[in-house]
Amino acid sequence: MIRFAALLFSALVLAACQSTPRPAAPVVVQPGPTPGQTPGTVRPPPASLPTSYRDLPGWQGATLAPSLEAFRRTCDRFTRRAWDAPLSRSVAWAGTAADWAPACEALAAPLDEGATRRAFETLFIPVEIIDPEGKPRFTGYFEPTYEARRAPEPGFTEPVFAVPSDFVANGDSPLQRLPNGTTRPYPPRAEITAKGGQAIAWAHPTDVFFLQIQGSGRLTFPDGTTLRAAYAAHNGQPFRSTANWLIETGRITRGEGSMQGIRAWMDRASPEEVRQSMNINPRFVFFQSLPEGDPELGPTGAHNVPLTPFGSMAIDPSFHALGVPMFVQTSAPGLGGDWSGLLIAQDTGGAIKGPVRGDIYFGTGFDAGQRAGTMNAQGRLWVLLPLTVAERLRQSLESGPVAARTPAPGAG
């Protein structure tokens, strides 16, 4: 993922007044300086934030079983790391594998819903993340299921491309090896589709376009077999919104800017217009063919664990560490209106940029897609940190020049 300097992160306040041993008074903090940044040169914006689980909107009514299942899978990843390995080299404040071991051990035991809630309240401190630019946004994604063919035929004319032989992995800036041995940045979507390549399957052009946006999916064939088209790589080009282009050019209204509205427009537009709209987004995703495996499990996310419906979320790894529990308050028709839930950061996405930016995983299939397509709203985000991580964060920054002590609403 892209790393950049001088991140104006957010305001964080450590929670107090809960049923667990209470840490010292909360402080507004910011993460450690990025390379080349002098400590204390950037000060976080002030904030007045909740300091107890009682202040988390909807916490008592949130369903925690999916998030517990997801977190247990994350713990399996944590236990495979060196004891002192950081969760993220970009997000040092998230701590090490050792910091998270007690919570992983405690949550491995059989727990009902009430015991799960009490365990999270005992093991973690909620810390709200504030976007200094005031652009919080939550969307939804899903694992689509599309009909496909092994070879092109009418109605199934778009290839699902595998990683090409000229692809040179180079982090988030992959290269293309040219016939003369030199390299260049990998080209955009229009050039890739015009050139062609090796396909793992063929499907309807609109289905392939949305498969790329979702990043993975299941492909079903006339013989009854199913494979997972799993994310393999992208071409390193920036993500551009086809929906925004369709709105700005008057092809659809803002109210039609959902997945359903875009698909309806593509169904009535000419093939040339559809191709033009797709090429507005130069980002291109390559796939690998995997067995379907357990049909009850979701695709594997960036954290290398299967995603859990309403238990997993994609985040921006420039601001957050994968594996961290996050409490979200937002709203969408596909969520039944106002919604609060606990999600585990287990995936990333090209369009997921910002400190209060999440993409909630809704599950597999048509119904999940219909619900996810309605999700595009503001909201609030808290990270849940183990007590040792939160206390160390507070102590180190409270004693430094960037710390700013704030009153603890309700503390006492």
Q: Let me know: does 339 contact 111? Beta carbons within 8 Å.
A: no
Q: Let me know: does 47 contact 28? Beta carbons within 8 Å.
A: yes
Q: Let me know: does 366 contact 145? Beta carbons within 8 Å.
A: yes
pLDDT tops 80 at residue 385: yes
**Closest to 139 (Cα-Cα) out of 241, 67, 208:** 241
Look at 70 and 92; give whichever has higher pLDDT.
70
Mean pLDDT of 187-209: 95
Residue 192 CB contacts under 8 Å (≥ 6 apart), including other chains = 161, 235, 284
Tell me, what's the pLDDT at 91?
84
CA quadruple 49, 50, 51, 57: dihedral positive or negative? negative
Q: Let me know: does 303 contact 74? Beta carbons within 8 Å.
A: yes
Tell me, what's the pLDDT at 4?
22
Mean pLDDT of 17-24: 31
DSSP secondary-structure letter at 253? -
Q: Let me know: does 313 contact 359? Beta carbons within 8 Å.
A: yes
Mean pLDDT of 293-299: 86
pLDDT range class, residue 130, cuts 50, 70, 90: confident
Tell me, what's the pLDDT at 258?
83
% of the chain exceeding 90 in pLDDT: 64
Mean pLDDT of 301-324: 94
- Helices of type H across 202-292: 205-214, 242-248, 259-268, 271-279
Tell me, what's the pLDDT at 69?
96
- Candidate from 78-92, 168-182, 318-332 with smallest mean pLDDT: 78-92
What is the DSSP track for 166-195?
Answer: TEE-BTBS-EEE-TTS-EEEPP-HHHHHHH
> How far is it, in rounded angstroms, from Cα 384 to Cα 329?
14
pLDDT tops 80 at residue 241: yes
Secondary element (H or E) of residue 339: strand 337-347
Tell me, what's the pLDDT at 14?
30
pLDDT tops 90 at residue 410: no
Mean pLDDT of 306-319: 94
Tell me, what's the pLDDT at 40?
30
Find the helix packing angle between 65-78 and 97-106, rounded to 10°: 140
What is the DSSP track for 140-165?
Answer: EEEE-EEE-BSS-BTTB-EEEEBPPT
Tell me, what's the pLDDT at 48?
39
Mean pLDDT of 218-235: 94
Find the helix packing angle between 97-106 and 113-123, rounded to 10°: 150
- Candidate from 103-107, 117-121, 133-137 with smallest mean pLDDT: 133-137
pLDDT tops 60 at residue 10: no
Residue with structure tokens 């979701």? Answer: 298
pLDDT tops 90 at residue 92: no
Q: Which two tokens stand for residue 173?
A: 């800036």
pLDDT range class, residue 331, cuts 50, 70, 90: very high
Residue 181 CB contacts under 8 Å (≥ 6 apart), including other chains = none
Write the Ramachandran bin of 103: left for phi over 0, alpha for psi from -120 to 50, otherwise beta: alpha
Tell me, what's the pLDDT at 115?
96
Tell me, what's the pLDDT at 398?
62
Residue 346 identity (one-letter amino acid): Q
Tell me, what's the pLDDT at 400?
53
Q: CA angle at residue 138 from 407 to 304, to 5 degrees? A: 100
Q: Let me know: does 344 contact 326? Beta carbons within 8 Å.
A: yes
For residues 360, 318, 9, 63, the Cα torsion angle rounded to the nearest 10 degrees is 20
% of the chain exceeding 70 in pLDDT: 83
CA quadruple 287, 225, 218, 284: dihedral positive or negative? positive
> How far is it, in rounded angstroms, from Cα 273 to Cα 259?
17
- Candidate from 28-32, 103-107, 375-379, 392-396 with smallest mean pLDDT: 28-32
pLDDT tops 80 at residue 305: yes
pLDDT tops 50 at residue 29: no
Q: CA angle at residue 76 from 302 to 294, to 5 degrees? A: 70
Q: Report residue 230: phi and psi, to 5°.
A: -95, 145
Tell me, what's the pLDDT at 343?
98
Average pLDDT, the chain: 83
Tell me, what's the pLDDT at 165?
95
In the chain, what are the domains?
12-139+304-405 (2.40.40.10), 143-291 (2.40.240.50)
pLDDT tops 50 at residue 43: no
pLDDT tops 90 at residue 199: yes
Tell me, what's the pLDDT at 51?
63
Look at 7 and 385; give whichever has higher pLDDT.
385
State how far the alpha carbon of 367 is from the alpha carbons of 3, 64, 255, 373, in Å: 36, 22, 20, 10
Mean pLDDT of 135-147: 93
> How far is it, in rounded angstroms, from Cα 112 to Cα 285?
40
Mean pLDDT of 134-163: 94
